[in-house]
Structure 1
Amino acid sequence: MSYDWIQRLFIENADVYIKIMDSLWSDGEALSDGIARVLESYGVRKGRILDLFCGNGRVAVNLARKGYEVVGVDISMPFIKNAIMKAEKYGVSDKVKFVAGDARRLVELIGNERFDAATIVWTSLGYYDEATDLEVLKQIRKLSNDNGVLIIADTIHRDKIAADGNRSYYQRYGDVIVLQRDVFDPISSKLISDWTILEDEGTVMRKVINSISMEIRVYTVTEMSSILRRAGWGVDSVYGDLRKLQQFHPSRSYMNIVARAI
């Protein structure tokens, strides 16, 4: 399987993807509120959080604004540089640190640091394959305290993807428009998603990226729970929306899983 799309979308065209993330910044604030409420229910009102696949810091920075000490990790150096700028803008440079590197080498990147909680936001698990996801989750467990909490948020799931079937649609993120064609393979449980990205320049639409094809392994709640247990995590609860702490239903677009170290 080729992972060239990760390089193309998150590194070579990082400036475009940063615009997408910037358009979701206020949503990152709302999501961080929900994450903080969940953490508080586990007694984690302060402490250290690992934000994996952190992008440009829309969750990490907002958690730091709530008083947490956060370490954000992402493979994209442009994302990390933008996240550092965001931390400076919001006055939390002393509360959040950003590390550029591959999550598949997480322990090597982080060293002996330990965390009270970890977050993975926006369907980052599944970029590679099930074996890789298991290994990443095991590494997070190694870096977590014995009573650590893991929150996997805003992650697409197989039930909804299979129900939607193959479809073409678009999504607008500020001035960026993503033309998307999704095909679901029920045998491999992979979503094959082709993106063409345009920018609205007022009088014209400029094509920024002609076509990027990505393959994402999508899981059911049951499958993800099984992988988490093998990695040393036990699932406590599943939400459909963390912002309002609404319970999960298969018709919802996302699953949000809260797990504890076991």
Structure 2
Amino acid sequence: MYNQEIFNSGAHLFLRVLRHIWDLGFQMAKSIAMLLQQYGIKSGNLLDLGCGIGRVAIPLAKMGYNVIGVDRTKLFIDEANLQAKKFKVEDNVKFINCDYNQLLEKLRGLSFDGVISVWTSIGFGSEEDDVNALKQALNLSNDNAILILEVENKLRYAGPPKKWVERYDDLIVYREGFLGEDSRWRSKWTFYSSEGTFLGEYGDDVRFYSSEELVRIVEKAGWSAITLFSDIFSLKPFNPDSNNIVLVAKKL
């Protein structure tokens, strides 16, 4: 299961990855804003679950939305606050370090027109934890609020253990993992400098979902699923062979 202390030990390295892919957040935000506008949410309050360093929340704030971003990792929240100042959106975005099962406690008195969670920000606890977090987000949402949820597609990881290498400027990441019979993806990230110096490692233990399972937990939390896409950037119709699942749901 998810262990925040283990993740924190490698968070400073993962921060370098997030900085490298910062510009992807602007592309994600454009697609998210387009989806929100299709459902009549052209402005208003948004909740970003698993906001990381604000790479999606800050572009949405620049578009005029008021955004609350929450993340379990304080280092990411500190970075997000720095980025908010850099992009001059401090009045439109606020970042909070908390667990997703503390939403009702930490966000008491707030209400949202949309909830977003991208880049597989759920699944780090149990399935019940995910349902509870989505239920709390629902309780904080206005009627007709929209949920946009993006996760890895479990079917992509089925079969033998996987290994691959990623490079982010002068940071090289060796990744390996396997999908257990319990649908949990157990993996290790090992970080090296471009010169080959070992920098550190950490492990993930994440509950991955199929499209059917994702719809089930979202509706168990009280949301009404509307549609599925294969990709947050292209918003192509969902294909079971796609790398990701993007689910759109509504509070009725």
What SS does the corresponding residue of 2:52 show, helix, strand or coil? coil
Residues 1:59 and 2:53 aligned together: no
Residue 193 of structure 1 corresponds to: 187
Residues 1:176 and 2:174 aligned together: no
Residue 158 of structure 1 corresponds to: 154
Residues 1:26 and 2:23 aligned together: yes
Residue 247 of structure 2 corresponds to: 257
Aligned ranges 1:5-154 → 2 under 5 Å: 6-9=4-7, 11-153=8-150
**Matching residue's letter, 2:65:** Y
Residue 225 of structure 1 corresponds to: 215
What whole-Å deviation, never above 9, does each CA across 1:122-160 have from its counterpart, x for those lacking one?
11111111011110010000010011100012x112121
What whole-Å deviation, never above 9, does each CA across 1:9-68 have from its counterpart, x for those lacking one?
3x3333221111111111111011000000000010000000011100001001001110
**Matching residue's letter, 1:251:** D
Distance in 2 between residues matched to 1:47 and 1:199, nearest whole Å: 43
**Matching residue's letter, 2:203:** S
> Which blocks of at least 5 consecutive residues in structure 1 are unaligned?
none
Shift of 1:206: 2.0
**Matching residue's letter, 1:233:** W
What whole-Å deviation, never above 9, does each CA across 1:79-135 have from its counterpart, x for those lacking one?
111101101111111110111111121111111200000111111111111011110
Residue 216 of structure 1 corresponds to: 206
What SS does the corresponding residue of 1:111 show, helix, strand or coil? coil
Residue 205 of structure 1 corresponds to: 196
Distance in 2 between residues matched to 1:174 and 1:65, nearest whole Å: 27
Q: Name the % identity.
A: 33
Shift of 1:8: 2.8
Query: Do the aligned residues in 2 keep the contact of 1:20 with 1:174 (CA within 8 Å)?
Result: no
Moved over 6 A (4+): none
Shift of 1:171: 1.4
Query: Do the aligned residues in 1 keep the contact of 2:6 with 2:203 (CA within 8 Å)?
Result: no
Query: Do the aligned residues in 1 keep the contact of 2:67 with 2:92 (CA within 8 Å)?
Result: yes
Shift of 1:7: 2.4
The number of residues matched between the two structures is: 252
Distance in 1 between residues matched to 2:14 and 2:173, nearest whole Å: 10
Shift of 1:256: 0.8
Shift of 1:251: 1.6
